[in-house]
Structure 1
Amino acid sequence: MGMTTISSRDFNQGASRAKKAARNGPVYITERGKPTHVLMTIEDFHRSQGKTPRSLLATLAQPGEAADFEFEPGKLGQIMKPADLD
Protein backbone atom coordinates (compact mmCIF):
# COMPACT_ATOMS: atom_id res chain seq x y z
CA MET A 1 0.00 0.00 0.00
CA GLY A 2 1.52 3.30 -1.08
CA MET A 3 1.33 6.71 0.50
CA THR A 4 0.97 9.95 -1.43
CA THR A 5 1.30 13.52 -0.18
CA ILE A 6 -0.07 16.50 -2.11
CA SER A 7 -0.65 20.14 -1.27
CA SER A 8 -4.18 21.42 -0.86
CA ARG A 9 -3.61 23.62 -3.91
CA ASP A 10 -2.67 20.58 -6.05
CA PHE A 11 -5.65 18.70 -4.63
CA ASN A 12 -8.01 21.53 -5.62
CA GLN A 13 -6.58 21.57 -9.14
CA GLY A 14 -6.45 17.81 -9.61
CA ALA A 15 -8.97 16.03 -7.40
CA SER A 16 -9.34 13.20 -9.94
CA ARG A 17 -5.59 12.49 -9.75
CA ALA A 18 -5.82 12.39 -5.96
CA LYS A 19 -8.76 9.96 -6.12
CA LYS A 20 -6.79 7.69 -8.46
CA ALA A 21 -3.80 7.82 -6.10
CA ALA A 22 -6.07 6.87 -3.17
CA ARG A 23 -6.67 3.49 -4.83
CA ASN A 24 -3.05 2.65 -3.91
CA GLY A 25 -3.19 3.94 -0.33
CA PRO A 26 -4.02 7.04 1.68
CA VAL A 27 -3.40 10.47 0.19
CA TYR A 28 -2.23 13.05 2.71
CA ILE A 29 -3.29 16.59 1.86
CA THR A 30 -1.08 19.31 3.29
CA GLU A 31 -1.50 22.99 4.03
CA ARG A 32 1.71 24.97 4.47
CA GLY A 33 3.64 21.70 4.55
CA LYS A 34 1.65 20.11 7.39
CA PRO A 35 -0.80 17.22 6.85
CA THR A 36 -4.39 18.35 7.47
CA HIS A 37 -6.58 15.80 5.68
CA VAL A 38 -6.45 12.22 4.44
CA LEU A 39 -8.21 10.92 1.34
CA MET A 40 -8.88 7.18 1.10
CA THR A 41 -11.24 4.82 -0.64
CA ILE A 42 -14.44 3.91 1.15
CA GLU A 43 -13.25 0.30 1.35
CA ASP A 44 -10.05 1.39 3.14
CA PHE A 45 -12.11 3.60 5.45
CA HIS A 46 -14.42 0.73 6.41
CA ARG A 47 -11.42 -1.51 7.04
CA SER A 48 -9.83 1.15 9.26
CA GLN A 49 -13.06 1.34 11.26
CA GLY A 50 -13.26 -2.43 11.61
CA LYS A 51 -16.44 -2.53 9.55
CA THR A 52 -17.01 -4.80 6.61
CA PRO A 53 -20.29 -3.91 4.91
CA ARG A 54 -22.00 -6.91 3.33
CA SER A 55 -24.91 -7.31 1.03
CA LEU A 56 -28.07 -9.07 2.15
CA LEU A 57 -27.19 -11.95 -0.16
CA ALA A 58 -23.76 -12.35 1.45
CA THR A 59 -25.33 -12.28 4.91
CA LEU A 60 -27.91 -14.93 4.02
CA ALA A 61 -25.24 -17.10 2.40
CA GLN A 62 -23.26 -17.34 5.67
CA PRO A 63 -23.45 -20.83 7.13
CA GLY A 64 -24.30 -21.52 10.76
CA GLU A 65 -25.05 -18.89 13.35
CA ALA A 66 -23.67 -15.99 11.29
CA ALA A 67 -26.85 -16.01 9.20
CA ASP A 68 -29.14 -16.31 12.24
CA PHE A 69 -30.68 -12.90 12.84
CA GLU A 70 -34.06 -11.39 13.60
CA PHE A 71 -36.06 -9.89 10.77
CA GLU A 72 -39.42 -8.29 11.42
CA PRO A 73 -40.65 -6.27 8.46
CA GLY A 74 -43.06 -3.44 9.17
CA LYS A 75 -46.72 -3.69 8.26
CA LEU A 76 -47.50 -2.64 4.72
CA GLY A 77 -49.84 0.09 5.96
CA GLN A 78 -46.94 1.72 7.77
CA ILE A 79 -44.76 1.71 4.67
CA MET A 80 -47.27 2.63 1.97
CA LYS A 81 -50.20 4.99 2.17
CA PRO A 82 -53.10 5.07 -0.29
CA ALA A 83 -52.96 7.81 -2.90
CA ASP A 84 -55.28 10.74 -2.38
CA LEU A 85 -56.83 11.34 -5.81
CA ASP A 86 -59.33 14.04 -4.79
Structure 2
Amino acid sequence: MAITILTSRAFDQDIERAMKAAAEGPVFITDRGQPTHILLSIAEYRRLTGQELSIVEALGWPAGVEDIEITFPRSGDLPRAVDLS
Protein backbone atom coordinates (compact mmCIF):
# COMPACT_ATOMS: atom_id res chain seq x y z
CA MET A 1 0.00 0.00 0.00
CA ALA A 2 1.50 3.30 -1.10
CA ILE A 3 1.05 6.35 1.12
CA THR A 4 1.00 9.73 -0.61
CA ILE A 5 1.42 13.09 1.11
CA LEU A 6 0.19 16.24 -0.63
CA THR A 7 0.02 19.81 0.54
CA SER A 8 -3.43 21.36 0.42
CA ARG A 9 -2.20 23.59 -2.41
CA ALA A 10 -0.94 20.59 -4.44
CA PHE A 11 -4.25 18.84 -3.80
CA ASP A 12 -6.22 21.88 -5.03
CA GLN A 13 -4.09 22.15 -8.14
CA ASP A 14 -4.16 18.47 -9.12
CA ILE A 15 -7.16 16.64 -7.70
CA GLU A 16 -6.94 14.00 -10.43
CA ARG A 17 -3.44 13.04 -9.24
CA ALA A 18 -4.76 12.70 -5.68
CA MET A 19 -7.64 10.49 -6.84
CA LYS A 20 -5.26 8.22 -8.77
CA ALA A 21 -2.96 8.01 -5.75
CA ALA A 22 -5.93 7.12 -3.52
CA ALA A 23 -6.50 4.03 -5.65
CA GLU A 24 -3.08 2.81 -4.50
CA GLY A 25 -3.35 3.83 -0.83
CA PRO A 26 -4.28 6.67 1.51
CA VAL A 27 -3.48 10.25 0.53
CA PHE A 28 -2.60 12.52 3.44
CA ILE A 29 -3.38 16.18 2.80
CA THR A 30 -1.37 18.62 4.87
CA ASP A 31 -1.82 22.24 5.86
CA ARG A 32 1.32 24.01 7.08
CA GLY A 33 3.09 20.68 7.40
CA GLN A 34 0.43 19.02 9.55
CA PRO A 35 -1.89 16.28 8.24
CA THR A 36 -5.47 17.59 8.18
CA HIS A 37 -7.35 15.19 5.89
CA ILE A 38 -7.06 11.73 4.41
CA LEU A 39 -8.39 10.78 0.98
CA LEU A 40 -9.36 7.12 0.52
CA SER A 41 -10.90 5.19 -2.33
CA ILE A 42 -14.53 4.26 -1.67
CA ALA A 43 -13.54 0.57 -1.69
CA GLU A 44 -10.98 1.16 1.06
CA TYR A 45 -13.45 3.25 3.06
CA ARG A 46 -16.07 0.50 2.86
CA ARG A 47 -13.49 -2.11 3.86
CA LEU A 48 -12.49 -0.07 6.91
CA THR A 49 -16.06 0.67 7.98
CA GLY A 50 -17.46 -2.77 7.19
CA GLN A 51 -20.14 -1.36 4.89
CA GLU A 52 -21.55 -3.48 2.13
CA LEU A 53 -22.88 -2.32 -1.21
CA SER A 54 -26.59 -1.89 -1.60
CA ILE A 55 -28.19 -3.42 -4.68
CA VAL A 56 -28.59 0.09 -6.11
CA GLU A 57 -24.87 0.81 -5.68
CA ALA A 58 -23.87 -2.60 -7.02
CA LEU A 59 -25.90 -2.03 -10.18
CA GLY A 60 -24.54 1.49 -10.58
CA TRP A 61 -27.94 3.14 -10.62
CA PRO A 62 -28.20 6.85 -9.77
CA ALA A 63 -28.83 7.92 -6.19
CA GLY A 64 -32.48 8.22 -5.24
CA VAL A 65 -33.66 5.42 -7.50
CA GLU A 66 -34.24 3.22 -4.43
CA ASP A 67 -37.04 5.61 -3.41
CA ILE A 68 -39.09 4.88 -6.53
CA GLU A 69 -42.05 2.66 -5.81
CA ILE A 70 -43.02 0.14 -8.45
CA THR A 71 -46.24 -1.82 -8.40
CA PHE A 72 -46.69 -4.79 -10.67
CA PRO A 73 -50.24 -5.60 -11.73
CA ARG A 74 -51.51 -8.97 -10.65
CA SER A 75 -52.27 -11.40 -13.38
CA GLY A 76 -55.91 -12.40 -13.77
CA ASP A 77 -54.90 -15.76 -15.19
CA LEU A 78 -55.65 -18.84 -13.15
CA PRO A 79 -52.68 -20.90 -11.96
CA ARG A 80 -51.74 -23.77 -14.26
CA ALA A 81 -51.06 -27.30 -13.12
CA VAL A 82 -47.39 -28.19 -13.00
CA ASP A 83 -46.16 -31.44 -14.56
CA LEU A 84 -43.25 -32.65 -12.42
CA SER A 85 -42.81 -35.99 -14.17
TM range (shorter): 0.5 to 0.7
Match of 2:41 in 1: 41
For the pair shown, which has the larger CA radius of gyration, 1 or 2? 2
Identity %: 43
TM-score, normalised to structure 2's length? 0.63
- Tell me the secondary structure at the aligned position of residue 6 of structure 1: strand
Alignment length (residue pairs):
60
Q: How does 1:21-32 map to 2 (within 5 A)?
A: 21-32=21-32
CA RMSD of aligned residues (A): 2.1
Runs of 4+ in 1 over 4 A off after TM superposition: none
Higher relative helix content: 1
Q: Residues 75 and 10 (structure 1 numbering): CA distance in 2 closer, same or farther, change over 3 Å?
A: closer
Q: Which runs of 5+ in 2 are unaligned?
A: 59-68, 72-85
